[in-house]
Amino acid sequence: MRLAGARVLVTGASSGIGAATALELSARGAHLVLSGRDEEALAGVAARTGGRPLPADLADGTVDRAADLAVRAGPVDVLVACAGEGWSGPLARMSGGTAERLIAVNLTAHVQLTRLLLPGMLERGRGHLVYIASIAGVVGVREEAVYAATKAGLLAFAESLRYEVPGIGVTAVVPGVVDTPFFARRGRPYTRRRPAPVPPERVARAVAVAVERDHAEVYVPAWLRLPARVHGAAPGVFRVLARRFGRP
């Protein structure tokens, strides 16, 4: 799909990967609708990209309204589901409300948003769906069980959709550690030397290329495909290695 002239809805556009993606897609000529919780930051991204700001908290049950507002100015050609939250710590110490919010923002909201936007794409015979997952959803991560589960669900959702939406592109982007405010917000900063965080602009470029070239799955950085394949082919071996080398 050509991004020039396409209408793109980006969730989580007020910071991090979402903001970087908005800037990248704008530079390629896309017309943007930008969703995010931080109204001030979202307005700044909208001003830089010419996008239409759509302040929304995807955990508050207003996904239907957000979808309706997004399509009022015209059909949405591309959905880029960037919005996501994290939480780090032992599961036994996590409050029920925290778990519910992570599931709502990371998974449920994007399932619902897709359900609302997909009929229009199918009717027009064109469109693209992009889901920002995580390597955590592929291999699991200690003390991030709920976050990893939401991202695994997003990956399974994308994979399943590919079988039932002919003519519609579906991409799962699988980043590793990205240099965004995510880690501070999850309650524990990233302190490992390796792997080094990649800039969000690198993920944003991967999103743009995936839409233009119709890639089904993209790892950022690309070497993450190796541990993902090891986990899939020899999960027992992977777990031994993860226990040995997976702590700071």
25-78: pLDDT as tens digits:
999 999 999 999 999 999 999 999 999 999 988 888 778 888 888 888 789 999
Instruction: Please report the pLDDT score of residue 97 as a whole number.
Output: 92
The tens digit of pLDDT for each residue in 83-140 reads 999 999 999 999 889 999 999 999 999 999 999 999 999 999 999 999 999 999 999 9
**Distance of alpha carbon 18 from its chain centroid, rounded?**
8
pTM over the 0.85 mark = yes
pLDDT average, residue stretch 176-187: 84
Neighbours of 192 (CB within 10 A): 11
1 in a structural domain? no
Instruction: Please report the pLDDT score of residue 246 as a whole number.
Output: 63
d(CA 97, CA 203): 30
91 in a structural domain? yes
Neighbours of 38 (CB within 10 A): 14
Q: Which CATH number fits the domain that encloses residue 23?
A: 3.40.50.720
- State the residue range of the domain holding 114: 7-245
Q: How many domains does the chain have?
A: 1
Judge whether 20 and 203 are in contact, CB under 8 Å.
Answer: yes
128 in a structural domain? yes
214 in a structural domain? yes
Tell me what the pLDDT averaged over the chain comes to.
92
57 in a structural domain? yes
DSSP-derived secondary structure for 6-54 = -EEEEESTTSHHHHHHHHHHHHTT-EEEEEES-HHHHHHHHHHHTPEEE
- Confidence class of residue 229 from pLDDT cuts 50, 70 and 90? very high
How would you class 179 by CB atoms within 10 Å of its CB: exposed for 0-12, middle for 13-18, buried for 19 or more?
middle
- Confidence class of residue 248 from pLDDT cuts 50, 70 and 90? very low
- pLDDT of 186 strictly over 90: no
2 in a structural domain? no
- Confidence class of residue 181 from pLDDT cuts 50, 70 and 90? confident
Judge whether 56 and 83 are in contact, CB under 8 Å.
Answer: no
- pLDDT of 2 strictly over 90: yes
Concerning whether 147 is annotated as a catalytic residue, the answer is yes
